[in-house]
Chains A and B, each alone.
Chain A
Amino acid sequence: MEKVIMGNHAVSFGVQLARVQVIAAYPITPQTQIVEMLSELCADGRLAAKFIKVESEHSVMAAVVGASIAGARAFTATSSHGLALMHEVLHWAAGGRLPIVAANVNRTLGPGWNVWTEQTDSLAQRDTGWMQLYCETNQEALDLVLLAYRVAEKVLLPVMLVLDAFFLSHTMEPVDVPEQALVDRFLPSFEPQYKLQPGEPCSFYGLVTPEYYMELRHKMHLAMQSALAEITAAGNEFGRLFGRYYGLLEPYRLEDADVVLVTSGSITGTSRVVVDEWRARGHKVGLLKMRVFRPFPFAAVRQALAHAKKVAVLDRDISQGLGGIWASETKGALYGVAEPPVVFPFIIGLGGRDVTPESIHKVLDYTVAHDAPEDDTVWMEVKR
């Protein structure tokens, strides 16, 4: 059924369709509408889930971990400082191999206070052991909730579903809300092998000595690696059932492109329009949309970019002392490629500053005009 809904509610519909059993949440702009709608769905019985209204995001993630380790399908949503406050517990969700799904609506971290979009909040959680999927549209936000549970429950690692503040979270778009029966085929109920079970006195999260710790992390690493194939397989299966296919990446007019934009999130839609304009003027420009940040699809990125001459990476994030995080990973993917493309790392749109078609034109103008970036990082549209 097609509905015109905002990104936040697309996530809520996804959670309802996933038949989540326990939700814990704490309000934070711009995420709040996700859990407000879920609260209503739980209250009127449309979703048979327990909604725990905790007092902080640290407690949110702890409650979700508790529910998951007790064997329930669990969900939460947050943003920015809320995600930062969860940080400690994010490690325990992943280290416990729990198939939790959490939506993070990208919001800038303070100081100063800023509620607008930026990806530093989620990208800063890159070493917690969570998979991270980035959405371009509201349809993707709904669909990837279902895909996230399917993959998480297969590889036993949590998934962070990431969408832009306001550009997605509060923007209405037409979204196909799939039929429950079809979703149930894609995402059957989950029975974990290990869980808190009276009569089975097992210990979870106990003290681990150096004799065993490394093996546990190695198994996580293998699981994370296997997720690349699982995401691909689940994305194909999703496509067969629902007509919308999802892969690790989404190439756009990439085949013969000399200059490639690497994007993620809602900037992608704006960039596509600009790519079309440059193509119409005869330039061989293409786009590579990144959907999966963890596990980072190094081989797929390498394959997609190896034949380009220049790659412009748009980072709406900043790792001080490094630069753009997507650019850093992209460079890593191209390491060892014979005659690799020149990578142009752009920092753009921080703190929710609007990234317009004109901004993307400037990125391409700069990339075409230079043989190499003039600095380690190129700051676009920054007042000096």
Chain B
Amino acid sequence: MSYDVSESELLASGHVACPGCGAPMAVRYALKALGENTVLIVVASCWSIIAGPFPYTAAQVPLLHTLFATGGSVASGVKAGLEARGLQDTTVLTLAGDGGTFDIGIQALSAAVERNEDFIYMCYDNEAYMNTGIQRSSATPWGAWTTTTPVKHPKDQPKKDMVAIMAAHRIPYTATATIAYPEDLIRKVQKAKSIRGSKFLHVLAPCPSGWKSEPSQSVLLSRLAVESCIFPLYEVEHGEEYRITVWPKARVPVQKYLRLQGRFAHLRDEDIGRIQENVDDEWQKLVTRSDRAKAPGNVDQAF
């Protein structure tokens, strides 16, 4: 497959993200897909810093920074305001972290997508409150270390299934993506742009300082997250039609993904076994409910 990825850059160099941060890559690809007729809304997160302080902005589209709990609500107002001025075709893209999406912003997000507001909501998920210094969110995976889930008491709850929550709203389009698969990400953003109504994109975005991983390995980790089926790439239309968009060529054990990250360094082999078991179950559930027409032969392979 080949994709026609735009050469235009709507995210300037000189942003202030850490080396190896997945978040600016996700936004760079998304803006390539959306083009200039876009308004970007940034919910309180690392991205409040990444774009640069006043009077600078790294985004080459109008950018509205906003309060933590307002990703869904402020976007609803912006869309209505633009339409009142006759700007019917401008895409409104809300960008929020996992804290702003899974936790403090979920009420406003749920309400906005229940109203089927016409906007794209992109969550860049680095699996903890990284901007405040690595505190657990409900997106933090089971067993992970954060500063509020110390090694003696690592997180004892599974990651919240945000895609299922969004799909349960029966919105037109929900999808996962990650930075190791830019064509897949861009295609999903383009698809989201072509649909009127609420679109939710869940993007895994590695954070070297929070994951205690090598900045040079962020793309690798994103790829391993997909190949190990910890973070499968799929899309859901109207809450019902599930479709896996990237089938792993050969599944890799979760250990390969987990052992590259210091936040999982304390896990014993049996903990990793438990994670593997859980991932196998979830993958099978996803495969079962997906359109398997394009599935390669080895999809049922387990570890």
* Chain B residues with CB below 8 A from A22, complex form: 77, 80-81, 84
* Chain B residues with CB below 8 A from A196, complex form: 39, 62, 64, 78, 81-82
A206 CA to B56 CA, complexed, in Å:
8
Interface size, chain B (Cβ < 8 Å)? 46
* Chain B residues with CB below 8 A from A67, complex form: 77-78, 80-81, 84
A209 CA to B87 CA, complexed, in Å:
33
Q: Contacts A58-B69, A66-B73: A202 and B81 contacting too (C-beta < 8 A)?
A: no
* Chain A residues with CB below 8 A from B87, complex form: 198
Verify if B265 is at the interface (C-beta below 8 Å from A).
Answer: no
- Decide if B76 touches A63 in the complex (CB within 8 Å): yes
* Chain A residues with CB below 8 A from B61, complex form: 198, 201
Tell me how far the C-beta of B169 lies from the nearest C-beta in chain A, rounded to whole angstroms.
13
* Chain A residues with CB below 8 A from B66, complex form: 62, 65-66, 92, 205
- Decide if B67 touches A62 in the complex (CB within 8 Å): yes
The closest CB in chain A to the CB of B77 belongs to: A66
Verify if B101 is at the interface (C-beta below 8 Å from A).
Answer: no
Tell me how far the C-beta of B24 lies from the nearest C-beta in chain A, rounded to whole angstroms.
15
Verify if A200 is at the interface (C-beta below 8 Å from B).
Answer: yes
Residue from A21, A64, A205 whose CB has the most chain B CB atoms within 10 Å: A205
B67's partner among A88, A202, A204, A207 (CB-CB below 8 A) is: A88
Interface residues of A in 215-242 (CB under 8 A from B): none
Verify if A208 is at the interface (C-beta below 8 Å from B).
Answer: yes
A206 CA to B50 CA, complexed, in Å:
10
User: Known contacts A66-B70, A196-B78, A202-B62; can you find 13 more A-B pairs with CB under 8 A?
Assistant: A22-B77, A24-B73, A55-B107, A55-B110, A56-B107, A66-B74, A68-B77, A69-B78, A72-B80, A89-B67, A196-B81, A203-B57, A203-B62
A-B contact pairs, 10 of them (CB 8 A): A52-B80, A55-B111, A59-B107, A65-B77, A66-B79, A66-B81, A70-B84, A198-B38, A203-B64, A206-B48
Verify if A27 is at the interface (C-beta below 8 Å from B).
Answer: no
Residue from B78, B90, B111 whose CB has the most chain A CB atoms within 10 Å: B78
- Decide if A50 touches B84 in the complex (CB within 8 Å): yes
Q: Interface size class for chain A?
A: 35 or more
Q: Contacts A70-B78, A71-B81, A72-B80: A198 and B62 contacting too (C-beta < 8 A)?
A: yes
The closest CB in chain B to the CB of A70 belongs to: B81
A28 CA to B151 CA, complexed, in Å:
46
Interface residues of A in 64-103 (CB under 8 A from B): 64-72, 74, 88-89, 92
A63's partner among B64, B73, B107 (CB-CB below 8 A) is: B73
A22 CA to B76 CA, complexed, in Å:
10
Verify if B294 is at the interface (C-beta below 8 Å from A).
Answer: no
- Decide if A208 touches B73 in the complex (CB within 8 Å): no
- Decide if A205 touches B64 in the complex (CB within 8 Å): yes
Verify if A113 is at the interface (C-beta below 8 Å from B).
Answer: no
The closest CB in chain B to the CB of A68 belongs to: B81
* Chain B residues with CB below 8 A from A59, complex form: 69-70, 72-73, 76, 107-108, 111
Tell me how far the C-beta of B78 lies from the nearest C-beta in chain A, rounded to whole angstroms.
4
- Decide if A206 touches B57 in the complex (CB within 8 Å): yes
Verify if B135 is at the interface (C-beta below 8 Å from A).
Answer: no
Tell me how far the C-beta of B96 lies from the nearest C-beta in chain A, rounded to whole angstroms.
13
- Decide if A53 touches B84 in the complex (CB within 8 Å): no
A74 CA to B51 CA, complexed, in Å:
28
- Decide if A201 touches B62 in the complex (CB within 8 Å): yes
- Decide if B82 touches A63 in the complex (CB within 8 Å): no
A203 CA to B55 CA, complexed, in Å:
8
A308 CA to B169 CA, complexed, in Å:
65
- Decide if A92 touches B62 in the complex (CB within 8 Å): no
